[in-house]
């Protein structure tokens, strides 16, 4: 069983090989410095041949010795602040399935091989406060690193200060101040692995595609930079989705939609004959992710509705009925989402995105200046939105208008993404355009959420009635959603009036 903990630490270079810690009792808040002895650690670090994990500041190791022997996977959270999530699993001959899944979006089908071995003699001290609670663990590590072939070795001494769970992060600054007085400086290396690879000459990291050629400012440069950012987001969010972190499914789905939208908006920049098949696969992935995300959003919406109902109007086991509905769908949707990420079709999509960005099928318009080409594309998407809104508002309230407003919502999202992509080239005018499109999208999104909620409320009411429960409260909630949708429809004309005249001159 894998366990995860948040690691907040700082690393320092020891001034000498035989460095001894200064008196840390002088650190404000420290009541005692407890010597925990010396531990011998032996760790083998794994990566792909081209070191994709190291490129993304991820470390994977199997370590013996110490209290936490076994597999350790460290995922960056805020590297500049020394914050990483460490996922641990017990010792085993092969990489546990859980950890393998967390690196799959980077590793794909390639083999994980040993890239460096680190043996450390760790002198451990605990800093405790007045109440005896642990504030931080301070380790002086004498490290020896060697390549798997044994041809190159290196050695150094470093200090690690790791914040205890629940301790104030500001305490690390107090320890650092004391260390600096003793001539200790922060390490330039982000991790032992990074330093070991560099000093043993084992570094073979993947080269990132540049977002633009030096001195170039074309439409193609900007569109490709946008697509690469979304591809990177997709890869980086994969382990977060597997770990069920808040908002991760939503953000991953947004990345797929942004790429697919860009393929359509910039079909005069990138050859649609090449991007269309990839776009269809992105549509598939967004739909698969939506099974989990849509359930999550809908559950939150209905829970908020129930919380706002006076207790005297909550007739029957309303919360229990909603919980039964939500749990049944969550269990299935979570399993489904992870199965999708473990499937060959998803990995093939990642490979297709890499291939497309490594050798993009650029059309002649890609070489044009970014300002004019991006503005023209965004205005075209705006015109498309205008047509859909005018059509929706011409229809009487009802199912047809609901469907038309949903189509307008998708057009608003595409126009918004086009505006955001144009910001680096067009500046504040593109920012203003994107914000207005987002307001329209948000209103239309609220309307669509109400449409979906009403159908779900109807289904739950049927289930409640069949179980012999009163459906009164579900009918009440249905009426509230109906009124909310009508209110959004009344607000739309005035909101659209403010967004109907876009200005996308460079600013």
Judge whether 25 and 33 are in contact, CB under 8 Å: yes
Distance CA 436, CA 434 (A): 5
Q: Is residue 271 domain-shared with residue 312, that is, in the same domain?
A: yes
Q: Which residue has the higher pLDDT, 291 or 247?
A: 247
Q: Collect all residues with Cβ–Cβ distance below 8 Å to 40 and sequence separation of at least 6.
A: 65, 119, 120, 121, 122
Q: What is the pTM of this model?
A: 0.88
Q: What is the per-residue pLDDT for 293?
A: 77
Query: Is residue 213's pLDDT more than 60?
Result: no
Average pLDDT, the chain: 93
Mean pLDDT throughout 219-245?
Answer: 95
Q: What is the per-residue pLDDT for 493?
A: 96
- Residue 311 in tokens: 């207790």
Mean pLDDT throughout 201-217?
Answer: 60
Q: Is residue 315 domain-shared with residue 442, that is, in the same domain?
A: no
The tens digit of pLDDT for each residue in 52-69 reads 999 999 999 999 999 899
Q: Is residue 77 domain-shared with residue 174, that is, in the same domain?
A: yes
Q: Please give the residue range of the domain that contains residue 164.
A: 3-199
305 occurs within a structural domain:
yes
- Helix 370-393, helix 472-499: angle, nearest 10: 130
Q: Is residue 346 domain-shared with residue 439, that is, in the same domain?
A: no
Choice among 179-193, 224-238, 329-343 with the minimum mean pLDDT: 329-343
Q: What is the per-residue pLDDT for 506?
A: 55
Query: Is residue 274's pLDDT more than 50?
Result: yes
Q: Which residue has the higher pLDDT, 327 or 375?
A: 375
Q: What is the DSSP string of 44-93?
A: EEEE-TT-HHHHTT-EEEEEESSTT-EEEEEEEEEGGGTEEEEEEE---S
Distance CA 222, CA 411 (A): 21
Q: How confident is the model at residue 294 (pLDDT cuts 50, 70, 90)?
A: confident
Candidate ranges 76-90, 117-131, 143-157; pick with highest mean pLDDT: 117-131
H/E run at residue 136: strand 134-146
Q: Is residue 363 domain-shared with residue 374, that is, in the same domain?
A: no
Q: How confident is the model at residue 82 (pLDDT cuts 50, 70, 90)?
A: confident
Q: How confident is the model at residue 150 (pLDDT cuts 50, 70, 90)?
A: confident
Q: How confident is the model at residue 217 (pLDDT cuts 50, 70, 90)?
A: confident
279-304 burial: b if 16+ Cβ within 10 Å, else e: bebbeebbebbbbbbbbbbbbebbee
Task: Indicate the SS3 state at residue 23.
Answer: coil
Final residue before a domain boundary, out of 368, 389, 407 = 368
Query: Is residue 337's pLDDT more than 70?
Result: yes
Judge whether 129 and 30 are in contact, CB under 8 Å: yes
The tens digit of pLDDT for each residue in 484-497 reads 999 999 999 999 99
Mean pLDDT throughout 364-372?
Answer: 94
Q: 371-376 long-range contacts, Cβ below 8 Å, gap at least 24?
A: 371/425, 371/426, 371/506, 373/218, 373/219, 373/268, 373/269, 374/219, 374/222, 374/223, 374/418, 374/421, 374/422, 374/425, 374/426, 374/430, 375/422, 375/426, 375/430, 375/504, 375/505, 375/506
The tens digit of pLDDT for each residue in 154-200 reads 999 999 999 999 999 999 999 999 999 999 999 999 899 999 999 99
Mean pLDDT throughout 304-311?
Answer: 96
Q: Is residue 59 domain-shared with residue 170, that is, in the same domain?
A: yes
The tens digit of pLDDT for each residue in 387-431 reads 999 999 999 999 999 999 999 999 999 999 999 999 999 999 999
Judge whether 387 and 407 are in contact, CB under 8 Å: no
Final residue before a domain boundary, out of 368, 391, 406 = 368
Q: Is residue 313 domain-shared with residue 418, that is, in the same domain?
A: no
385 occurs within a structural domain:
yes
Final residue before a domain boundary, out of 321, 351, 368 = 368
Q: Is residue 394 domain-shared with residue 412, that is, in the same domain?
A: yes
CA 327 to chain centre: 24
Q: How confident is the model at residue 215 (pLDDT cuts 50, 70, 90)?
A: very low
205 occurs within a structural domain:
no
Q: Please name which of 469, 453, 473 lies closest in space to residue 308, comparing C-alpha atoms.
A: 473
CATH number at 82 reads 2.40.320.10
Q: What is the per-residue pLDDT for 327?
A: 81
Distance CA 430, CA 425 (A): 8
The tens digit of pLDDT for each residue in 95-139 reads 999 999 999 999 998 999 999 999 999 999 999 999 999 999 999
Query: Is residue 210's pLDDT more than 60?
Result: no
Q: Please name which of 396, 401, 490, 393 lies closest in space to residue 451, comparing C-alpha atoms.
A: 401
Q: How confident is the model at residue 212 (pLDDT cuts 50, 70, 90)?
A: very low
Q: What is the per-residue pLDDT for 214?
A: 40
204 occurs within a structural domain:
no
314 occurs within a structural domain:
yes
Q: Are strands 153-163 and 134-146 parallel, antiparallel or unpaired?
A: antiparallel
175 occurs within a structural domain:
yes
Distance CA 386, CA 392 (A): 10
Distance CA 220, CA 209 (A): 14
Domains of the chain: total = 3
- Residue 425 in tokens: 């080239």
Q: What is the per-residue pLDDT for 331?
A: 63
Q: How confident is the model at residue 334 (pLDDT cuts 50, 70, 90)?
A: confident
The helix, strand and coil proportions of the chain, stated in percent and rounded to the nearest 5, come to 55, 20, 25
Q: What is the per-residue pLDDT for 236?
A: 96
Q: Is residue 362 domain-shared with residue 490, that is, in the same domain?
A: no
Q: What is the per-residue pLDDT for 295?
A: 81
506 occurs within a structural domain:
no
Judge whether 125 and 21 are in contact, CB under 8 Å: yes
Q: Is residue 130 domain-shared with residue 62, that is, in the same domain?
A: yes
210 occurs within a structural domain:
no
Q: Please name which of 33, 26, 30, 35 lies closest in space to residue 129, comparing C-alpha atoms.
A: 30
Q: What is the per-residue pLDDT for 208?
A: 54
Mean pLDDT throughout 422-443?
Answer: 95
- Residue 448 in tokens: 């669509």
Q: Is residue 406 domain-shared with residue 373, that is, in the same domain?
A: yes
Q: What is the per-residue pLDDT for 504?
A: 81
Q: Is residue 222 domain-shared with residue 361, that is, in the same domain?
A: yes
Q: What is the per-residue pLDDT for 414?
A: 97
CATH number at 340 reads 1.40.20.10
Mean pLDDT throughout 277-304?
Answer: 91
């Amino acid at each position: 069983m894998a366990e995860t903990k948040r690691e907040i630490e700082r690393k320092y270079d020891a001034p000498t090989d035989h460095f001894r810690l200064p008196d840390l009792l002088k650190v404000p808040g420290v009541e005692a410095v407890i010597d925990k002895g010396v531990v011998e650690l032996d760790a083998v670090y794994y990566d792909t041949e081209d070191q994709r994990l190291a490129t993304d500041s991820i470390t994977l190791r199997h370590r013996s010795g110490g209290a936490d022997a076994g597999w350790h996977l460290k995922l960056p959270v805020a590297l500049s602040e020394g914050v990483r999530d460490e996922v641990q699993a017990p010792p085993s001959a092969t990489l546990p399935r859980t950890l393998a899944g967390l690196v799959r979006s980077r590793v794909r089908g390639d083999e994980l091989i040993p890239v460096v071995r680190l043996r450390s003699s760790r002198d451990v001290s605990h800093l405790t406060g007045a109440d005896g609670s642990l504030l931080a663990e301070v380790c002086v590590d004498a490290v020896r690193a060697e390549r798997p072939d044994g041809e190159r070795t290196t050695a150094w001494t470093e200090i690690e200060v790791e914040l205890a769970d629940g301790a104030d992060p500001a305490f690390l600054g107090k320890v650092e101040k004391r260390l600096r007085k003793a001539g200790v400086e922060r390490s330039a290396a982000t991790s032992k692995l990074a330093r070991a690879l560099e000093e043993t000459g084992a570094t073979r990291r993947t080269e990132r595609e540049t977002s633009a050629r030096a001195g170039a400012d074309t439409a193609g440069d900007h569109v490709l930079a946008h697509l690469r950012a979304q591809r990177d987001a997709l890869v980086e969010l994969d382990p977060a989705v597997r770990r069920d972190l808040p908002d991760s499914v939503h953000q991953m789905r947004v990345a797929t939609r942004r790429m697919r939208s860009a393929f359509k908006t910039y079909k005069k920049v990138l050859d649609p004959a090449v991007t269309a098949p990839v776009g269809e696969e992105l549509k598939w992935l967004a739909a698969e992710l939506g099974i989990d995300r849509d359930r999550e959003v809908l559950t939150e919406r209905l829970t908020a509705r129930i919380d706002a109902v006076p207790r005297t109007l909550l007739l029957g086991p309303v919360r229990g009925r909603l919980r039964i509905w939500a749990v049944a769908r969550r269990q299935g949707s979570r399993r489904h989402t992870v199965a999708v990420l473990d499937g060959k079709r998803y990995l093939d999509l990642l490979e297709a995105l890499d291939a497309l960005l490594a050798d993009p099928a650029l059309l002649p318009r890609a070489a044009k200046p970014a300002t004019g080409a991006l503005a023209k594309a965004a205005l075209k998407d705006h015109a498309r939105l205008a047509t859909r809104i005018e059509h929706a508002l011409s229809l009487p309230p009802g199912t047809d208008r609901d469907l038309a407003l949903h189509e307008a919502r998708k057009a608003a999202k595409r126009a918004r993404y086009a505006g955001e992509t144009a910001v680096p080239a067009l500046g504040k005018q593109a920012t203003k355009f994107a914000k207005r499109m987002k307001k329209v999208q948000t209103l239309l999104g609220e309307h669509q959420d109400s449409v979906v909620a009403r159908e779900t409320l109807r289904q739950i009411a049927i289930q409640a009635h069949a179980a012999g429960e009163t459906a009164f409260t579900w009918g009440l909630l249905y009426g509230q959603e109906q009124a909310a949708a009508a209110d959004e429809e009344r607000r739309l004309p005035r909101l659209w009036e403010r967004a109907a005249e876009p200005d996308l001159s460079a600013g």
